[in-house]
Structure 1
Amino acid sequence: MNYLTKLTTTLLLVLSFATFAQYKPNSKKISITGTILEKGTDLPLEYATVVFQDVNEPEQLTGGVTDFDGNFNFEVKAGIYNVRFEFISFKTLELKNQTFSADKNFGKVYLEADIAQLEGIELIAEKSTVEIKLDKRVYNVGKDMMVKGGTISDVLDNVPSVTVDPEGTVALRGNENVKILIDGKPSGLAGINIADALKLLPADSVEKVEVITNPSARYDAEGGGGIINIVLRKGKGLGLNGSFIVSAGDPESYGVSSSVNYRSEKFNLFSNVGYNYRTSLGNSTNDTRYLNDNNETTGYIDERRNNERLNDGYNANFGAELYLTKTLSWTNALTFRNSITENPDNVFFYNYDASRNYLFTRNRFNDQRGDDFSIEYSTNFTKNFKKEDHKLTVDMAFSDNRENDYATINDQKLEDITSLFSERTTNNETQNRSLFQVDYVLPLGKNGRFEAGYRGSFQKNLTNFVIDSLNNGFWIRNDYYSNLLEYNENVNAFYMQYGNKINKFSYFLGLRFEDSDIDVNSITSNDYNTKKYNNFFPTATFNYEFSESSSLSLSYSKRINRPRGFFLNPFSTYSSNINIFRGNPDLNPSYTNAIDLGYLKKWNKLTFNTSAYINLTDDSFQFIRRESGNFVEGIPVIESTPINLAKEYRAGFEFNINYSPFKWWRLNSNFNLFRNETQGDYSYVNFEGETKFQNFDNVATTWFTRLSSKITLPYNIDWQTNATYNAPQSTAQGKRLSITSINLAFSKDVLKDKGTIAFNVSDLLNSRKRRNETYILGVSDSYSEFQWRQRQLTLSFTYRFNKKKNDREQRNNYEGGDGDFMG
């Protein structure tokens, strides 16, 4: 049977379900179940079809399609049938003249890849870029032209419900307290600073991104806003296959990457190797009006900054999956990345008096350079037992990260060459992480499932930040800004959960216990903080299926957000000496209770997913700006620092739409409206011994939306447009203004679809800037703009061998979790 016939049969099956339900209504109905797997690997085949053809009435067809785990479950009337199990590029398994008078469970059905068919396959339909499921959204990177030649940060900025601000901070539904996983677990590949690492890792290494807004007990309790799981590519195609990508862009950037794997019945070898040279031009503005205690103007400073960041790095991943037996597999992978960075930061401070009369200009040039190296070894054992879905998995991972940054700073008044003074900074960070994880799944009864597991995460971080000042030819350590910070985190977690399905209603109940032992030691200032606490984190998910295309879900989870990195480090940057960021080593974790009500509806050309959510957070992190008591030539130094604030209430509504009005046009849209309320007061004693009070009670309502359109033009040229708008939002000390950005991309398949040429423009209007208005009574009134990266143009070429553009991508070793059980 050719492939067009198979695809047509699949579509006819869907249409026949409704009519079959009305056909001979008095006939006895029986249940047909089973699982379709790939022979030799035991990997489940999603979207495989089971066709029942009535022997007496051959025109009558019924059957079903497998889900994510390869399972099928449908009803037919009792009778005699010819049965076919089919999947594109696999040999069809056919059973003729089978009599069915009672419920039938086929158990495990194995299909074998058809090598001859693999070489001639031609698909009519293309899997949508964004898959909307009730518990999560899956973003398939391979079909998106926007990110060719880009980074993982660019990938996330195209994912529904996810935003990435100009500094690289990731937020989910506007909430920055989000946990980022790689292949379902915390990964050393992400490095010490997750935002910086995501801007360095290439987009080509990502297969898909999973957004989980309300995770189950199986996942880390970390991340009050939810979880973003980045799934890396691991080829699964039979034999030797892969792809190569080369790219070049303006501002100057170029790269090359490859993804190659070889698979047999006994093993699968996979690799991803890439090199990138990327230049990013950035700039910022900060105009400040300084005030006295009577709120009168004392002067002005207009700050202008230009950056020309350079990243020169490579990454590589090598792995082997061994099929030891039909039920036991062992996977090992080694991943490492290295990058050399340069960030010359040129800042001009234009000073004016209270009447806006020009006084002088100071220039501060920060020549920053660094190197970053990460290596991780991971191993996985997966044991499948005789009973379907009964399995045990064991994961271990060990990583080492080193980030070294050096900078020389020259500061002077342009009108006075004798005012030159020089400083240098050294920021050395190391991180060692170990991860041990065991997960056990036990099916109970017809639809029940019990899960239990353990995860131990252990990490040690050491940050040494030193500032030296040049004095009479000698470098003198500045002890006020220098600091040695030690951060140790040991978290042991146990979980169990149970789920079942009763007719159209299903549920999943879980409980997670985490024991945390954390040390935050500011060694230089002799400030030692030990945090020991343990918590229970309950989760619950309920789902009701109105029909195959319509369902409703309600979920609850308790989450934790532990402060890390620059949130804790008293000093980790010194690019400006009058606007300082200072971490708070005594920050406590915040806790969030999250409730989510979701509805999913599917039509032939449209999928609609909407949800309403409420997050209640205790001890939430808030950034305050205050006077430090230090002055630079009479100018007060303003510090920004995070604190624990009493309460945060976040409630919102969002919807996602996938719509294909025509075969040549696909639309994806995401809209999120939320209200954020904070309640809390803050007081501190300033350098003059005065107690200052700040009220942080604030209510802000804002929204953001994203629209993605993909159109096939004449000559099979694909045109994709992404437009994003973030509405303004008030804060406790001012206002965050709106951000608008548009990305464009065009692509064309060449060389008989073995190659693809793509051209994309990131930030077409050059308008992606973070803009803030900040007002502190009796201190300052300021307006700031920050643009991390200016408009970028990229041209790329992809070449595939032994692999068609639309070949199916089989699932990773990472298991998606209980969401698929619920569906």
Structure 2
Amino acid sequence: MPTTSHFAHISRHPRRTLIAQLVAGTLLLPVAASAQQAPATPVPVPAQAQAKQDAAKPVTAQAQAPAAAPAPAAPAVESTVTVTATRTQNRIDRQTYDVKADPATSNDTVADTLNKVPSVGVDADGNVTLRGRSNVQILVDGKPSAMMQGDNRAAALNALPAADLESVEVINNPGAQFGNEGGGGPVINLVMRRERSPGGFAVLNANVGTEGRYNTSAFGSYTEGRYSVQGSLFRRQDKRESSGETVRERIDPATGAIARSTQDSNGVNRNEATGFNGGLTYNLGDKDVLGATLNYSQNENDAESTERYRNTNAAGIVDNEYLRTSLRDTKNRNYGLGARLDHKGDAPGETFKVDLRVSGSDSDNAANYASVYTVRPASASAPGSRQQGDNQTRIVDFTGDYELPGEHGVWKAGYKVARNSNVFDNAYFDIDPCCGTERPNTTRTNRFELTDMTYALYGSYQWRVNDKWGVLGGLRAEYADLDMNQVTTGQRAGNHYFDAIPSAFVTYGLSDETTLRLSYAHRIRRPGAGDLNPFVVYRDEQNISSGNPNLQPASSDSLELGVETKLGKVDTNVRLYLRHESDLINERRILLANDVLLTTRENAGSSRSGGLEFNFSGRATQQLMINVNGNIGYAEQTVLGSVLDDKRSATSVSGRARLMYQMNPANSFMLMLNAQGKTLFGEGYREPSYTANLNYRRMLTPALSLTVNINDLFDSQKMESITETERLREYSTRRFGGRMAYVGLSYRFGSFGNAGGQRRPMMFGGPGGPRGPG
């Protein structure tokens, strides 16, 4: 094992200068082009993306693939492409954001796209929040997936290409068809791209960035007669640098004496991700459709970091100081298989759908640590050590859904049987500095297994009262059985829950342009596998974590009132919301001896929150389109450990502004400004953060476009958190690699379109994929 740092600083890639020059030259292209062209005719203002849906009209089943296809459409040859904002299509229980019109999609990851959806935030670590809530459930085509569970989620969101998305559905108050696994809070449904227009279609994207970054993706589909086949491939290489500072003060509650420690870190992460996604649909006849899907992805991460730690006692004397070098190697493998049957009944609109999904995720990680002590305490661990982990997640999800439209409404009913299994296998070895032999560290080695079986039934009725009023009510009954096995200690435990989960939605069409929406949902948040594992997991010398097998589900009630209208030329969407949560699954931090901080979970306290969410979109001029959305929220929650049941509160203002400028038919710019407000967690809060992204797009030919993307334009991305208890004060900040630039090409060939025959911006496909219940 090495005894010194592997690097003194993080070197810059020599390609950075070349790429910077290329970016600068590319940005000058529209200026040069304008100088050589006659004045361009004004860009026509496009019509609305879609007409407003009648608020009282029941939502019927999604149309099936056509039984027979007409002759392939002729390739599109138009040379003028108008870039529009992310389009919002609201249904009675959800908001749907059509992301295909975003010119940055050919380069972005799914995490980048989610960061553009109103009130959704994804930080640099891949953690997702919605209106400040972290217990967000992410589905893929309406179904749970192993790659979106636990620690797998962050790697998947930062690797999957946004070009594979059709739309993003945000469901703040989920209805009866959605279960409680994977968070039990609001739902974000990723609808994967589908192209079922007759004939063939394909798109190729390639981008190269600073410091050796690059990504490529391809999507293709072919539809003829009774069958449709499609697939996508992607490859991404990324590099992220980071630095951090942590100041920790330990307070003696009896004397008030303060002992202080500092921890400074620098690191670099290199990621390589590869994957594919395929699907086949076959019409057995006029009433039955078979479908199958297959996906696989692999993500490899190599990380290097150095940490300098310094601790002083209450007298100010240094009693522990060292420099630590870490080398980590992680490999994630994700797979998914799916099969479904869609059957049309004899009654108009009657459908029955059966769906089986099997998905899995394997994560292998290895880490080597080497410490050089300046001041070595008696309690210090071995200077060299090695850690190895093998985590597995398996999900089997079997659902059936029946829908029957009646004279005044639509009946829906369904069932779900699911099995979710998790294995955490961690091994830790101390290395003898004399001879290099490894000795197992039993206090840091363990294996934990969890199996979660879920059985659910649901029913709902959507009633069209009259031309103005619509009502949707539902009830879900859910039973969960958990089996926990702490293999290392031989301890087994079990738990089971039964919950009745109601939901209700009301819409009122005030006018042709104004719709009022009222919704309510009761939700249950069940603890995840990592929350329940009681064994202590080693993070570093000053930080360890463990779960709590005695955790019980937390419950929440959410109420929302919204209005959708048009103020002049501005599309307007405003929503008021209130939420109450009890028996919170909160993060508890306990300060142990030798400045070691244990982070665990417990059911403690309650929280109340509310706010105003807004979204305004319209054209300032024929060439400039502006979208502004944000959230003004208030949150209050119990301070953990408070004898007097004290409350901590915060007012948070978050917002985004998107400015899109169509310079001429061939050139467009987009500037995205993003501000995330203050948020609370168990024993502290996170400070606001700010970022900005810039995109330029130039149409070189009707089928070929060039894009330039600059992420974190002002090098402002960072994460700051503050923890305050009677015995602990901690301030932590992390900064990331900063500004990144990409230059890319996108080429589209073949026929494309949608059922309505309207052209969409180049690079973007057809109607959305299947949306099943959760």
Aligned partners of 1:432 and 1:459 also within 8 Å: yes
Q: Decide which of 327, 337, 347 is 2:297's aligned counterpart.
A: 337
Shift of 1:176: 0.9
Q: Going by fraction, where is strand more abundant, 1 or 2?
A: 1
- Counterparts of 1:191-590 in structure 2, within 5 Å, are 193-222=152-181, 223-294=183-254, 296-352=256-312, 354=314, 361-414=321-374, 421-445=383-407, 447-471=408-432, 473-503=436-466, 504-570=468-534, 574-590=538-554
The yes-or-no answer on 1:176 pairing with 2:137 is no
Partner residue in 1 for 2:710: 761
Cα distance, 1:398–1:286 mapped onto 2, change above 3 Å = same
Partner residue in 1 for 2:145: 187
Aligned partners of 1:483 and 1:570 also within 8 Å: no
Measure the CA separation in 2 of the matches of 1:113 and 1:124: 26
Q: Deviations over 1:27-58 (max 9, x none)?
A: xxxxxxxxxxxxxxxxxxx9699xxxxxxxxx
Measure the CA separation in 1 of the matches of 2:718 and 2:536: 23
Larger radius of gyration: 1
Q: Decide which of 707, 727, 730 is 2:657's aligned counterpart.
A: 707
Partner residue in 2 for 1:5: none
Q: Which moved more, 1:807-816 or 1:646-655?
A: 807-816
Amino acid at match of 1:172: L
Aligned partners of 2:58 and 2:462 also within 8 Å: no
Alignment coverage as a number of residue pairs: 710
Cα distance, 1:416–1:288 mapped onto 2, change above 3 Å = closer
Measure the CA separation in 2 of the matches of 1:145 and 1:356: 56
Amino acid at match of 2:269: R
Q: Deviations over 1:753-776 (max 9, x none)?
A: x11211111111222211122233
Shift of 1:171: 0.8
Q: Which moved more, 1:786-795 or 1:300-309?
A: 786-795
Amino acid at match of 1:332: A
Measure the CA separation in 1 of the matches of 2:112 and 2:428: 33
Cα distance, 1:395–1:386 mapped onto 2, change above 3 Å = same
Shift of 1:437: 0.8
Cα distance, 1:604–1:261 mapped onto 2, change above 3 Å = farther
Aligned partners of 2:679 and 2:686 also within 8 Å: yes
Q: Deviations over 1:397-419 (max 9, x none)?
A: 11222111011111221478999
Partner residue in 2 for 1:164: 122
Partner residue in 2 for 1:810: 766
Q: Deviations over 1:235-276 (max 9, x none)?
A: 223211110111111232112111011111211110111111
Measure the CA separation in 2 of the matches of 1:143 and 1:667: 14
Cα distance, 1:111–1:126 mapped onto 2, change above 3 Å = farther
Cα distance, 1:554–1:315 mapped onto 2, change above 3 Å = same
Aligned partners of 1:345 and 1:575 also within 8 Å: no
SS in 2 for 1:301: strand
Amino acid at match of 1:441: E
Aligned partners of 1:392 and 1:441 also within 8 Å: yes
Partner residue in 1 for 2:748: 800
Aligned partners of 2:126 and 2:155 also within 8 Å: yes
The yes-or-no answer on 1:131 pairing with 2:80 is no
Amino acid at match of 1:469: D
Q: Which moved more, 1:244-253 or 1:693-702?
A: 693-702
Aligned partners of 1:331 and 1:380 also within 8 Å: yes
Aligned partners of 2:67 and 2:285 also within 8 Å: no
TM-score (norm 1): 0.80
Shift of 1:538: 0.8
Amino acid at match of 1:131: T
Q: Deviations over 1:342-390 (max 9, x none)?
A: 1222211134565767777411112110211111110111112343321
Partner residue in 2 for 1:745: 695
Q: Deviations over 1:124-150 (max 9, x none)?
A: 866642315254332223222345433
Q: Which moved more, 1:658-667 or 1:701-710?
A: 658-667
Aligned partners of 1:244 and 1:257 also within 8 Å: yes
Partner residue in 2 for 1:86: none
Shift of 1:191: 5.6
Measure the CA separation in 1 of the matches of 2:270 and 2:636: 39
Measure the CA separation in 2 of the matches of 1:162 and 1:613: 15
Q: Which moved more, 1:354-363 or 1:404-413?
A: 354-363
SS in 2 for 1:790: coil
Shift of 1:327: 2.3
SS in 1 for 2:156: helix
Q: Deviations over 1:595-617 (max 9, x none)?
A: 11111113573211111111111
Aligned partners of 1:698 and 1:732 also within 8 Å: no
Aligned partners of 2:73 and 2:198 also within 8 Å: no
Aligned partners of 1:221 and 1:558 also within 8 Å: no
Aligned partners of 2:69 and 2:225 also within 8 Å: no
Measure the CA separation in 1 of the matches of 2:671 and 2:88: 18
Measure the CA separation in 2 of the matches of 1:461 and 1:648: 30
SS in 2 for 1:574: strand
Aligned partners of 2:591 and 2:728 also within 8 Å: no
SS in 2 for 1:153: helix
SS in 2 for 1:154: helix
Measure the CA separation in 2 of the matches of 1:122 and 1:330: 38
Shift of 1:787: 3.3
Measure the CA separation in 2 of the matches of 1:817 and 1:470: 51
Measure the CA separation in 2 of the matches of 1:442 and 1:159: 33
TM-score (norm 2): 0.85
Amino acid at match of 1:508: L
Partner residue in 1 for 2:40: none
SS in 2 for 1:812: coil
Q: Deviations over 1:308-329 (max 9, x none)?
A: 1111121111221112212221
| Alignment gaps of 5+ in structure 2 | 1-43, 753-759
Q: Deviations over 1:610-647 (max 9, x none)?
A: 1111111121122122122x42xxxx211122211132
Amino acid at match of 1:183: D
Aligned partners of 2:147 and 2:153 also within 8 Å: no
Shift of 1:303: 1.0
Q: Decide which of 572, 575, 586 is 1:608's aligned counterpart.
A: 572
Shift of 1:493: 0.9
- Counterparts of 1:28-39 in structure 2, within 5 Å, are none
Shift of 1:279: 1.2
Cα distance, 1:111–1:505 mapped onto 2, change above 3 Å = farther
Cα distance, 1:627–1:552 mapped onto 2, change above 3 Å = same
SS in 2 for 1:510: strand
Amino acid at match of 2:530: F
RMSD (Å), alpha carbons: 3.2
Amino acid at match of 1:404: D
